[in-house]
Amino acid sequence: MSWEVVIGLEVHCQLNTDTKAFCGCSTQFGAEPNTQTCPVCLGMPGQLPVLNTVAVDKTILTGLAINAHINLESKFDRKNYFYPDLPKGYQISQFAVPIVEGGYIDIPTKDGGEKRLGVTRIHMEEDAGKSMHEGLDAVSHIDLNRSGVPLMEIVSEPDMRSADEAIAYLKQLHQLIRFLGVSGADMEKGQFRCDANISVRRPGEPFGTRTEMKNMNSFRFIKQAIEFEVLRQIEIIEDGGEVVQESRLWDSVKSESRSMRSKEEAHDYRYFPEPDLPPLRVSQQEVDAIRAGMPELPGQLRKRFETEYGLSSYDADVLTQTLEVAAWYESLVAAHPADPKRCANWMANELLGRLNEAGKDLSESPVSAARLAELLDRIGDNSVSGKAAKDVLDAMMESDDSADAIIEAKGLKQVSDSGAIDAIIKEVMDANPAQVEGYRGGKDKLMGFFVGQVMKASRGTANPGMVNQRLKELLKG
Amino acid sequence: MDIDVKKVAMLSRIRLTEEEAAELGPQLSSIIGYVEQLSKIDTDGVAPTAHPHDAAMPLRANVVTNTNRRDELQACAPKTESGLYVVPKVIE
């Protein structure tokens, strides 16, 4: 009998505000340790938190983008635990009444359809500082610059049934957050962090005991960690054992997880209402104004690219991965409006492929949209064949020369003049009388041979469409 | 109501002697018992009080107002090194 995997995800996403959640300290990444702190985020006695208005707006915007309900009144609570990177001894969070409830994210399925995955809630909270242990003997070092940076925690329903679905959800959410501009969402900088609740069961049975996997900071590790944990649980159950509910830490070096037993006892957070903060009230008008300012979302952009530019769903997907890529594509289309599909092919397959090989980002592309458009114009007016244009693009990646200059210099200008093409065809026919005889005797397959010979004789510059057409004519005799 | 005073002390990082635990346990239990009278009140139809003041939260503009005061702020820390707080080793 098979096992069914059940996964729910908790994503902690740093909001990209200029200042912290409850004080006027900068959130700039990479500052000297402890230079962006104040009595509030250091937990000094008698200090009062005051919530950042932009953190509220960005959380509401995210809630609206996943079609969730916005609670016009929400509350803050204290989550109590002791750790040196949490100077107050509690984290200000939202427990009983979060600002966002309900909502969903649709992920593409293998059969080309969509699966809807529920989002339980999004609540606001503050980040802790950073502890460093490496290379230290009996001590740890603490940097509190991150203490108090605003986070939203996005909690999903246990709706995912495989590691692949979990990754699809995370990628969709990550892309959405980038489009909304509410977070840098840089996983390497810890701006988008994920914990996974994982359990297995026989199909149709109640949920099994879950474990919580922590410390996964890339999509690849998340997939590995989930797959590892699923196998570990199945093995335990099939050996007659029982899964223990616990937090487990993913070790990406050893590719295995281990129990965080020490954390278990501390998992009694004794939430209670934050007495320093009255309820957060937002008006329906404010929510409506945030909704009115919503940027175009990835799904809408994808559909628009398909209908407006006639792109395949694959190309539309590739070209809407990030706002930068989408904007680049649209500026290419603006410069070469004759053929948006050609723009898509050349950008998605040729340009992005070459940049990828060179390990470069689109922003570092040596070929601008305007320069690429110039090359596409030459393909459009038959000045250069598609095949030769790839050589031209190679050269453009290496120099600042225009497409025209490179075509000229390399002698790649396509010959579309029927007189010139006829001359080459006649040469080829004269050199291959036996094949001419054969073709005229009914061996149609020899057409390919002639096309190849003519293209070779023209060093690839002959317009293939015209070669075909003229060959048919002239071979008739 | 009986309070597991040792657990509460552990969660609060308060060290208690056996004698203190024996003394404080019944005291805490009686305090909880006193407050528990509230649960007898019929609160049907009464909106929960989120905060004693019927005030909405004031919000702060997203503007940096604090400057680097590290030296001053770290003056009360028992130990620092290169701008970092130094604490007894904590690691999972």
pLDDT tens digit sequence for A88-110: 999 999 999 999 999 999 998 88
Residue type, A382: N
pLDDT, mean of residues A204-213: 93
Q: Which residues of B touch A (CB under 8 A)?
A: 7, 10-11, 13, 50-51, 53, 55-66, 68-70, 73-74, 81-92
Rg of chain B in Å (alpha carbons): 22
pLDDT, position A215 = 76
Determine which of A97, A134, A140, A290 to mutate to test the interface with B (most B C-beta atoms within 10 Å). Answer: A140
Higher-confidence position of A68 and A470 = A68
pLDDT, position B1 = 58
Residues of chain A with pLDDT > 70, as a percent, come to 98
pLDDT, position A199 = 97
DSSP A351: I
pLDDT, mean of residues A271-279: 93
Give contacts of B72 with chain A, Cβ < 8 Å: none
Q: Where are the domains of chain A?
A: 4-288, 298-410, 418-475
pLDDT, position A4 = 96
- The answer to whether the CB of B90 falls within 8 A of the CB of A44 is no
Q: Which helix (H) or strand (E) holds A229?
A: helix A219-238
CA of B54: which chain A residue's CA is closest? A278
φ, ψ for residue A96, nearest 5 deg: -75, -45
Token reading at A237 = 């159950």
Residues of chain A with pLDDT > 90, as a percent, come to 68
d(Cα A440, Cα A434) in Å, to the nearest integer?
Answer: 10
What's the full length of chain B, in residues? 92
Q: What is the pLDDT of residues A67-91, one digit of tens each?
A: 999 999 999 999 998 899 999 999 9
Token reading at A454 = 């003519």
pLDDT, position A25 = 98
pLDDT, mean of residues A121-135: 95
Q: Where are the domains of chain B?
A: 1-40
DSSP A442: T
Token reading at B23 = 């003394």
A59 in B contact zone (CB under 8 Å)? no
Cβ-Cβ pairs closer than 8 A, A with B, add up to 130
- Measured at the CA of A306, the angle between CA A304 and CA A309, to 5 degrees, comes to 85
Mean pLDDT, chain A, whole residue set: 92
Token reading at A368 = 């601008």
Residue A153, classed as helix, strand or coil, is: strand
Q: What is the pLDDT of residues A406-461, one digit of tens each?
A: 888 887 888 777 788 888 899 899 999 888 888 888 888 888 898 888 888 887 78
DSSP-assigned letters across all residues of B2-50: ---HHHHHHHTT----HHHHHHHHHHHHHHHHHHGGGGGS--TTPPPPS
Residue B43 CA, chain-centre distance (Å), reads 27
Rg of chain A in Å (alpha carbons): 30
pLDDT, position A261 = 67
d(Cα A210, Cα A201) in Å, to the nearest integer?
Answer: 10
pLDDT interval class at A266 (50, 70, 90)? low
A190 in B contact zone (CB under 8 Å)? no
Token reading at A407 = 């075509």
Q: Is the pLDDT of residue A341 over 60?
A: yes
pLDDT, position A284 = 97
Q: What is the pLDDT of residues A152-172, one digit of tens each?
A: 999 999 999 999 999 999 999
Which residue has 């989120």 as its token pair? B50
Q: How far is A281 from chain B (nearest CA, A)?
A: 6
Higher-confidence position of B70 and A453 = B70
d(Cα A149, Cα A126) in Å, to the nearest integer?
Answer: 5
Token reading at B42 = 């019929």
Neighbours of A428 (CB within 10 A): 23
User: Which CATH number applies to B1-40?
Assistant: 1.10.20
d(Cα A311, Cα A343) in Å, to the nearest integer?
Answer: 10
Residue type, A183: S
Give contacts of B69 with chain A, Cβ < 8 Å: 37-38
pLDDT, position A351 = 95
d(Cα A333, Cα A329) in Å, to the nearest integer?
Answer: 6
Residue A331's alpha-carbon distances to A334, A381, A469, in angstroms, are: 5, 20, 36
Which span out of A4-8, A246-250, A294-298 was modeled with the highest average pLDDT?
A4-8
Q: Is the pLDDT of residue A1 over 90?
A: no
pLDDT, position B87 = 95
- Measured at the CA of A251, the angle between CA A248 and CA A254, to 5 degrees, comes to 130
pLDDT, mean of residues A29-44: 96
Residue A160, classed as helix, strand or coil, is: strand
pLDDT, position A443 = 87
- The answer to whether the CB of A15 falls within 8 A of the CB of A56 is no
Give contacts of B56 with chain A, Cβ < 8 Å: 278-281
Encode burial over A367-394: b for 16+ CB neighbours within 10 A, e otherwise. Answer: bebebbbbbbbbbeeebbbeebbebbbe
d(Cα B4, Cα B60) in Å, to the nearest integer?
Answer: 41
pLDDT, position A230 = 96
Residue type, A94: Q
CA of A89: which chain B residue's CA is closest? B12
Q: What is the pLDDT of residues A277-293, one digit of tens each?
A: 999 999 999 999 999 99
Q: Is the pLDDT of residue A265 over 70?
A: no
Q: What is the pLDDT of residues B41-56, one digit of tens each?
A: 998 988 877 677 777 8
Domain boundaries A418-475, CATH class: mainly alpha
pLDDT, position B2 = 67
Tell me if the pTM is above 0.80. Answer: yes
Q: Is the pLDDT of residue A270 over 80?
A: yes
DSSP A31: P
d(Cα A121, Cα A140) in Å, to the nearest integer?
Answer: 34
Q: Is the pLDDT of residue B73 over 70?
A: yes
Mean pLDDT, chain B, whole residue set: 89
pLDDT, position A62 = 98
Q: What is the pLDDT of residues B1-43, one digit of tens each?
A: 567 888 888 888 889 999 999 999 899 999 999 999 999 999 8
Residues 6+ away with beta carbon under 8 Å from A461: A385, A388, A411, A412, A413, A414, A415
| Pair type for strands A51-52 and B59-60 | parallel
d(Cα A425, Cα A419) in Å, to the nearest integer?
Answer: 10
pLDDT, position B4 = 84
Token reading at A252 = 């990406």
Segment among A30-39, A98-107, A131-140, A261-270 with least mean pLDDT: A261-270
What's the full length of chain A, in residues? 477
